[in-house]
Amino acid sequence: MQQHNWVTFTKGRIHVTGCAHCGQVLLPTNEHTECFKVSMDDNLLAKKGFRASGYLVTPGSQRVA
């Protein structure tokens, strides 16, 4: 099973945690689901104009505001 690679995506002042491989947004329901790796051209967050900031975010290190 392929694991998600959670990174922070940024678009302007908006920051979203998503998978660098498949483009899914991190939610409690998909935190431990299988990742279906796609090309960056098919990554949903990249298509919407978000840019990966390049560091890995582990789900346990998330802060809730």
Confidence of residue 54 (pLDDT cuts 50, 70, 90): low
Could you tell me which residues come within 8 angstroms of residue 21 by beta carbon, excluding any fewer than 6 positions away? 2, 4, 5, 35, 37, 38, 43
Could you tell me which residues come within 8 angstroms of residue 6 by beta carbon, excluding any fewer than 6 positions away? 17, 18, 19, 20, 26, 56, 57, 58, 59
Residue 26's pLDDT is what? 94
Confidence of residue 50 (pLDDT cuts 50, 70, 90): very high
Residue 1's pLDDT is what? 65
